Amino acid sequence: MGAAQSFRELCDRTKNTNVRLSLPAVCIVWQTAMIILFGVFIRYNEESDTHWVEYRKENNLSDIQNDFYFRYPSFQDVHVMIFVGFGFLMTFLQRYSFGAVGFNFLIAAFGLQWALLMQGWFHSLDYTDGKIKIGVENLINADFCVAGCLIAYGAVLGKVSPVQLLVLTLFGITLFAVEEYIILDLIHAKDAGGSMVIHTFGGYYGLSISWMLYRPNLDQSNRLQSSVYHSDVFAMIGTLFLWMFWPSFNSAITDHGDGQHRAAINTYLALASTVLTTVAVSSLFQKHGKLDMVHIQNSTLAGGVAVGTAAEFMLMPYGSLIVGFCCGIISTLGYIFLTPFMEKYLKIQDTCGIHNLHAMPGVIGGIVGAITAAAATESVYGAEGLRNTFDFEGEFADRSTSKQGGHQAAGLCVAICFGVGGGILVGFILRLPIWGDPADDNCFNDEPYWEMPYILRIFPAEIQQYKSIQTYKIFI
Amino acid sequence: MGAAQSFRELCDRTKNTNVRLSLPAVCIVWQTAMIILFGVFIRYNEESDTHWVEYRKENNLSDIQNDFYFRYPSFQDVHVMIFVGFGFLMTFLQRYSFGAVGFNFLIAAFGLQWALLMQGWFHSLDYTDGKIKIGVENLINADFCVAGCLIAYGAVLGKVSPVQLLVLTLFGITLFAVEEYIILDLIHAKDAGGSMVIHTFGGYYGLSISWMLYRPNLDQSNRLQSSVYHSDVFAMIGTLFLWMFWPSFNSAITDHGDGQHRAAINTYLALASTVLTTVAVSSLFQKHGKLDMVHIQNSTLAGGVAVGTAAEFMLMPYGSLIVGFCCGIISTLGYIFLTPFMEKYLKIQDTCGIHNLHAMPGVIGGIVGAITAAAATESVYGAEGLRNTFDFEGEFADRSTSKQGGHQAAGLCVAICFGVGGGILVGFILRLPIWGDPADDNCFNDEPYWEMPYILRIFPAEIQQYKSIQTYKIFI
Amino acid sequence: MGAAQSFRELCDRTKNTNVRLSLPAVCIVWQTAMIILFGVFIRYNEESDTHWVEYRKENNLSDIQNDFYFRYPSFQDVHVMIFVGFGFLMTFLQRYSFGAVGFNFLIAAFGLQWALLMQGWFHSLDYTDGKIKIGVENLINADFCVAGCLIAYGAVLGKVSPVQLLVLTLFGITLFAVEEYIILDLIHAKDAGGSMVIHTFGGYYGLSISWMLYRPNLDQSNRLQSSVYHSDVFAMIGTLFLWMFWPSFNSAITDHGDGQHRAAINTYLALASTVLTTVAVSSLFQKHGKLDMVHIQNSTLAGGVAVGTAAEFMLMPYGSLIVGFCCGIISTLGYIFLTPFMEKYLKIQDTCGIHNLHAMPGVIGGIVGAITAAAATESVYGAEGLRNTFDFEGEFADRSTSKQGGHQAAGLCVAICFGVGGGILVGFILRLPIWGDPADDNCFNDEPYWEMPYILRIFPAEIQQYKSIQTYKIFI
């Protein structure tokens, strides 16, 4: 215990948030590494290469059958979710909007490059020439991979430095690619919208890191850990773009044709249902029945998370509504009861409540997926439909749906293990006293990392002249 | 008169805005009803079902010919208009942004479910098994249906409780589905962008409700019925997303191929034209030629409304510009002269000016549609083109274009009647003193229904220490 | 010199910002002219006309092969960039958000109409009947054309009247269409994303105008030439929508199939790389390593500009990363060193720093394009791929890639010449003292052109009653 304590003391020395050397160094070195690795490994695939015209003729295809036209609109929607959705969702704090949207931007831009490599090695490696061949589906998957890390960012929002976030992202992407390979390829679980692979993993990864970085004196930053009126409106931009484009998220990499179509419908319905139960619970547990913006901003999205795994299955429209119904309730109750409990007793400080928005709904999504898969029958799906939907081909041709259900459950366990284990490991690294994170009384504050324009001039209305302006500093 | 007066007095008792029982109850009960009805009635259609692979082969189709790829990008644009467009357009009030974007979210999420059922029974019922079969086109239509109710919300913004809004939506969707069935199916009028079906109906529905809910002492809330600088900027987010995606709105459910293509072009042009005339009139009627944000936020959209019915017709690019030209002028003049007149003499308090943005331009759109249809000739459209555009098939195979023009006009009348009649009926219901609406001196205020984060800390710039902070409440 | 000086004095007379006559007059007259010219010249093309159904059958096409489905999703993304992207990017000033987003709206709405005509005469004129036939590709090109003028607006932001902006746009579109015709048709250079045609031209056009309109006493408006916290967050909305949709911008009018696919991938990668080097340089040159929002808002986009010309070429993924890497560094250094230098020594006051975001990266993009074209080989592209990519057809069938490289460089020179020459000419016109521009001490201020809602009520928190409210004017 002596060693652990001295390590802790080492970490708690007076904080120095100057990242003038570390941040530029990490950005330049890592970006240079990306260029070299891309030079060695990454090429266009047959649909984005100039040889497409020959490929197309050989396979008797029309230009419109290029995968680009199947997936690009969904890709752009996902892209908006990653940068505007996640970025603005986190602007709710009164004085951390620059960090929310700016660091989200930074780590997503790095993460997608590293994800193209990591996922490429596992999924898109052309063994004839050792190159990763990329097309629009790889871009979507890279954005997905990044989403896992942005979820984790939500747990530590306002308490870490940008360098720590880049480290969190580097390891997060790496872990993601490995767990994804195990779950989707080895276990052959299906996870269209990533309830397990993205949300469960990302959620527990972030919570474990937050647990490792527990700050007993965080109440010293209490004055800043709340919203102002307009920061809540900004956050609603994030909420709505996530909510609206979630059908694209869950359908982006599903099967051409009915697969994408059905995944979009299921997600659309689940999300609609979630809004009503979120409002109900939020109003029910507040004095005078007033709604809490935190719930509206976050819990309304839980249905999209929970329907992720089963989105492509024949979940049925009413099934989607049921999933959304439950998740709205559970997620809002989580914000009311579980988040304070976790902070007080489990020492997990979860700034954005990702446990309620991603981790729990992700687990529910995994379970729903397992049950729906196990219950799938040829009479509902049709023989060919069943084979297509679950990819019962090649070595998996003989798998039964009940066995598939078990494998789905196994996939969920892998996601949780990678999240918790990886988070503890990375949290340990992030405790090193070299990363420039803020002191306990200076969290949730843009000031340490951003040039701040915070002076407003206020003067009494009766005085029309500019001369008598009183200058105030104002937190807005 | 005695009964009417005592009813009025009953309604004007001291207001109690506590919705802690009613709001959760309505949300939970109605959402449960949706689940049951969806379970009984709603299934995937042949393009979103796993049997698509068989259907596709039988009909010799490619996956890309699934309706999903024709309409999903437009659907997502429409979805953004409904949630971000309408939601943020209404954030302009200084202290009602939560209600604007939050209640818009709530009623749209409920409305689209109810719309899938109501429209499904009328349009998508498969008589072989009594099920409604849904695909992406149904989702678009559900969003359209919701738009009518969100328009109505604009008239009563800030003066009603969320429970009233849900009631408004329940009846609004129901009325919408019936009038739409009468106009599109029985009368066989065409209304691609819903000038009549959506905007005229929604506009008069909202105005009639507002008339029924007239508050003679609303000036007690005057201090809050205005914008602040940043709330006007937030509203521009709504304006722009509506303006940009309106071509998708008007083309979303038009014919594959040239129909969608032409509708998008016509709308794009009409909207561009509207912006210039709006700016012209706004500047002309203001002292010093200053522009008024209310006009820029709203009247610039009138051209999109007015070109809705005729968007798919051969309106011609210059025709679209003319429609936009006129609507920019009329709508802006409406804000300057008509809105104050209606409030003073007709006792219609129209918070967002939906009469100028939806009702009037909708009527103009209906008239433009009737004229354009009546003037359509085979020499311009081509024989097959004319048949396709106006769906002169089946029982309507022999209809002439001049007769079609008359039927378009009849459709417009139906929309107005349903709007006015339905609004009076629903307004009567909403006057009951049980809904938790705010008192006359507490309108346009988020405080009754939302937990408010309104404390900012302001302190003189010379004093660098946090100790001497003076705390102010500030309306932002 | 005497004449020049007296001209200068004439221009510097006391400013009158009343545009009550000029603005409505210009809007109404120009819009009327548009209607007449559209009536004479503009018709639907064969893909948006009702005769499509016959055309389709003759050419054995499916509806999904209508160009609408290849380009409409990209068009909508470009449309968002023009109106929300450019508009909100310029809202960063504390008190010029209405002008930023409102005037951007106005001039884009006018410009796209004039662009349809100007570009139509050069590119889409049907010589059989003397009509311009338009479809979705024309809408995209019109938006592109407008982008050039919006870039120029960035240089003069806050210092000109809306009438001046409309004049700037009228001439800008005209010049654009001519230089585009010379570069793309006569010189037969390729410029998919418009590095030369849009960004280089637009950048130098704006800088030259700003030079002609130099205000020696602009420091009198210093108090307003900065941001406040929330105006910086608004600007990030613009930044992110530009950043996310840039792949659509660069791929919108490239070849069907692999062309669009590859252009999107290259742009996606270049932009990701730019973010990291922008952050690195911004942090490195600031005390304490703090990031500057100006850099994050602007320089992160430079990679998208610079990869524009070569986006469709076989630039290779690592090539895109390298371009982005360099541009992030150069653009950020430009903001730190070049912008102050240009203002002090070259008398170019560049409000948004368009030299760093558009002009320089545009030139780099032109050079990258020339090099990539000159280095193209049949072994990389394939014989048919090379022909397709560079359109070596008709009179250009025998052109070699090295010659193409030279022609690309020639195109870049044309763009610079048109930008500088046109800007000086138009700047001269805009100096006339008739346009209603603001005085030197009233720049960067919405007050001269907008009705302003700027009164907030602030009162001490202890006092719960509304009676004791102190009213302040507050700049927010």
The answer to whether the Cβ–Cβ distance between A244 and B113 falls below 8 Å is: no
Q: Which of C146, C137, C159 is nearest to C105 (CA)?
A: C146
- Of all helices (H) and strands (E), which one includes residue B458? strand B455-460
pLDDT of amino acid A430: 95
The answer to whether the Cβ–Cβ distance between B47 and A317 falls below 8 Å is: no
Identify all chain B residues contacting C456, using CB atoms and an 8 Å cutoff. 94, 228, 474-476
Note the helical H segments in A59-158.
67-80, 86-89, 97-119, 136-156
* Bridge partners, C126 (sequence order): C131
User: For A453, which of C227, C236, C284 is closest by C-beta distance?
Assistant: C227
- Is it the case that residue C281 has pLDDT exceeding 60? yes
The answer to whether the Cβ–Cβ distance between A31 and C325 falls below 8 Å is: yes
Identify all chain C residues contacting A49, using CB atoms and an 8 Å cutoff. 258, 262, 314, 385
Identify all chain A residues contacting B34, using CB atoms and an 8 Å cutoff. 273, 321
The answer to whether the Cβ–Cβ distance between B458 and C458 falls below 8 Å is: yes
Q: Shortest Cα distance from C376 to chain A (angstroms)?
A: 12
The answer to whether the Cβ–Cβ distance between B450 and A268 falls below 8 Å is: no
Please name the chains neighbouring A, where neighbouring means 3+ C-beta pairs under 8 angstroms. B, C
pLDDT of amino acid B6: 58
Backbone angles phi, psi at A260, to 5 degrees: -65, -40
The answer to whether the Cβ–Cβ distance between C290 and A461 falls below 8 Å is: no
Counting residues of chain B whose pLDDT is more than 70, the rounded percentage is 92
pLDDT of amino acid C7: 55
> Which residues does C345 contact at the CB level (< 8 Å), separation at least 6?
none
- Is it the case that residue A473 has pLDDT exceeding 50? no
**C139-182 per-position pLDDT tens digit:** 999 999 999 999 999 999 999 999 999 999 999 999 999 999 99
Token pair 């084979």 in the structure block, residue: A387
- Is it the case that residue C470 has pLDDT exceeding 50? no
Identify all chain B residues contacting A286, using CB atoms and an 8 Å cutoff. 20, 451
The answer to whether the Cβ–Cβ distance between A291 and B79 falls below 8 Å is: no
- Is it the case that residue A17 has pLDDT exceeding 90? no
Counting residues of chain A whose pLDDT is more than 90, the rounded percentage is 83
The answer to whether the Cβ–Cβ distance between B50 and A381 falls below 8 Å is: yes
DSSP letters, B152-183, are HHHHHTTSS-HHHHHHHHHHHHHHHHHHHIII
Domain boundaries, chain A: 22-437
The answer to whether the Cβ–Cβ distance between A228 and B34 falls below 8 Å is: no
Identify all chain B residues contacting A288, using CB atoms and an 8 Å cutoff. 17-18, 20
Identify all chain C residues contacting A223, using CB atoms and an 8 Å cutoff. none
The whole-number average pLDDT for the span B309-323 is 96
Question: A467: pLDDT confidence band, cut at 50, 70 and 90?
Answer: very low
pLDDT of amino acid B469: 40
The answer to whether the Cβ–Cβ distance between A453 and C256 falls below 8 Å is: no
Q: Which CATH superfamily does the domain covering B2-473 fall into?
A: Ammonium transporter AmtB like domains (1.10.3430.10)
Task: State the DSSP code for B65.
Answer: G
Question: A5: pLDDT confidence band, cut at 50, 70 and 90?
Answer: low
Residue of A66, A78, A229 to mutate, interface with B, max B Cβ within 10 Å: A229
- Is it the case that residue B473 has pLDDT exceeding 60? no
Assembly ipTM: 0.93
Residue of B50, B165, B451 to mutate, interface with A, max A Cβ within 10 Å: B50
pLDDT of amino acid C454: 55
- Is it the case that residue A312 has pLDDT exceeding 50? yes
**B349-385 per-position pLDDT tens digit:** 999 999 999 999 999 999 999 999 999 999 999 999 9
Identify all chain C residues contacting B97, using CB atoms and an 8 Å cutoff. none
> Which residues does B252 contact at the CB level (< 8 Å), separation at least 6?
B71, B74, B75, B77, B78, B140, B144, B260
In the sheet that C42-44 helps form, which strands lie side by side, from edge to edge? C42-44, C131-134, C125-126
- Is it the case that residue A468 has pLDDT exceeding 80? no
- Is it the case that residue C459 has pLDDT exceeding 90? no
Q: Residue count of chain A, please give it.
A: 476
- Is it the case that residue A212 has pLDDT exceeding 70? yes
**A118-164 per-position pLDDT tens digit:** 999 999 999 999 999 999 999 999 999 999 999 999 999 999 999 99
**B1-27 per-position pLDDT tens digit:** 455 555 555 555 557 888 989 999 999
Task: State the DSSP code for A286.
Answer: S
pLDDT of amino acid B459: 42
Identify all chain A residues contacting B64, using CB atoms and an 8 Å cutoff. 64-65, 69-70, 256
Question: A474: pLDDT confidence band, cut at 50, 70 and 90?
Answer: very low
Query: How many Cβ atoms sit within 10 Å of the Cβ of residue B204?
Result: 28
- Is it the case that residue C455 has pLDDT exceeding 60? no
pLDDT of amino acid A259: 95
DSSP letters, A344-386, are III----TT-HIIIIIHHHHHHHHHHHHHHHT--HHHH-HHHH
Q: Shortest Cα distance from C93 to chain A (angstroms)?
A: 11
The answer to whether the Cβ–Cβ distance between B28 and A280 falls below 8 Å is: yes
The answer to whether the Cβ–Cβ distance between C264 and A106 falls below 8 Å is: no
Query: How many Cβ atoms sit within 10 Å of the Cβ of residue C462?
Result: 9
Q: CATH code for A22-437? A: 1.10.3430.10
**Nearest-10 Cα torsion for B366, B370, B371, B376:** 130
Q: Looking at per-residue confidence, does C331 or B18 come out higher? A: C331
pLDDT of amino acid B476: 38
Burial C252-279 (b: 16+ CB within 10 A, else e): bbbbbbbbbbbbbbbbbbbbbbbbbbbb
pLDDT of amino acid A287: 80
The C-alpha atoms of residue A297 and residue C421 are separated, in whole angstroms, by 51
Counting residues of chain C whose pLDDT is more than 90, the rounded percentage is 83
User: For B102, which of A248, A288, A291 is closest by C-beta distance?
Assistant: A291
Contact in structure between B168 and B425 (CB atoms under 8 Å): no
The CATH-assigned architecture of domain C2-451 is: Orthogonal Bundle (1.10)
**C35-59 per-position pLDDT tens digit:** 999 999 999 999 999 999 999 999 9
The C-alpha atoms of residue B415 and residue B470 are separated, in whole angstroms, by 56
**B380-429 per-position pLDDT tens digit:** 999 999 999 999 988 898 899 999 999 999 999 999 999 999 999 999 99
pLDDT of amino acid C115: 97
β B42-44/C455-460 pair status: unpaired
